[in-house]
Structure 1
């Protein structure tokens, strides 16, 4: 069952765990993977889950349902993390130097899945925010080592130039009539 936004939803920085969370009513809380150092100042205190947040969340769920085949629980997790990232993460400059340049031109759009290549490893990412030159993407893979000292964990976000995004390899079956 998909969770749909309600009036009592709100963003709370959970000091006990050290992550931003979404209070989904009196008995449920969802922890995002975003720590205080990556959040805008407003996210450090209670903040309403606004109508704008709800619209983004619902649109993201609809787009995900068309682009991915995942369980409702996974879809809610991705959409809540994407909403948090879109509205509450500090703006980032692209960090494209970690990734190989793609030889294919792609069209980046919200909730679309791509691959990034880093040190010979492919990782799946989900677009959370995009413009004509760059996209903020969320890592879907478990972990991605960027270099000897830095790595991204699942659901963390990084901004990259769109020329670093590789289309997913989709196996196409051609049926001759």
Structure 2
């Protein structure tokens, strides 16, 4: 997983029409377009201490999470969580797309969302007593009326729409 540094900069990449993070000599494009952002980025903004805190929290959560991701995938998830928390417009719950469950919730930030016959894994970015902001981890989740959620797209749902996801964790040898 990449370690953030003081050279990281947020900006809006008009060529790709996406919020981007300049990582020194590398470029990371988020999936978030202008319509998803709470405000327009007219200039570059530093990856600040709040971003660093969120990034570190996600890294720590991934260490305790049964989800197995490569270092690059972990970095991708952490950056998208930072972008969502800092720049994404507030969302109202859109629970009508999803099945409801008696025991809703998540396990180590992982949960399933089910829409009819389709089921997808999500990362819970934030939760409160009634709703959760989630990022889709799977490539796509078809919804009704020909709509679909794309990977890392944000959606807010009521807590009872989530099913805890218990991934298989490989057995570790104890010395």
Same fold (TM over 0.5): yes
Call closer, same or farther: CA 1:171–1:104 in 2, change over 3 Å: farther
Call closer, same or farther: CA 1:162–1:44 in 2, change over 3 Å: farther
CA root-mean-square deviation: 1.8
Calculate the TM-score normalised by the size of structure 2.
0.89
Call closer, same or farther: CA 1:112–1:22 in 2, change over 3 Å: same
Deviation at 1:170, TM superposition (A): 5.4
Q: Which residue of 1 aligns with 2:90?
A: 91
Distance 1:137 1:143 in 2: 14
Call closer, same or farther: CA 1:46–1:126 in 2, change over 3 Å: same
Q: Is the 8 A contact 1:102 1:165 kept in 2?
A: yes
Distance 1:70 1:126 in 2: 13
- Aligned to 2:159, which of 149, 156, 162? 162
Deviation at 1:169, TM superposition (A): 5.0
Unaligned 5+ segments in structure 1 are 173-177
- Shift >4 Å, 4+ stretches: 169-172
Unaligned 5+ segments in structure 2 are 170-175
Q: Which residue of 2 aligns with 1:124?
A: 121
Q: Which residue of 2 aligns with 1:34?
A: 32
Q: Which residue of 2 aligns with 1:175?
A: none
Q: Which residue of 2 aligns with 1:104?
A: 103
Q: What SS does the corresponding residue of 2:5 show, helix, strand or coil?
A: coil
Deviation at 1:148, TM superposition (A): 2.1
Calculate the TM-score normalised by the size of structure 1.
0.88
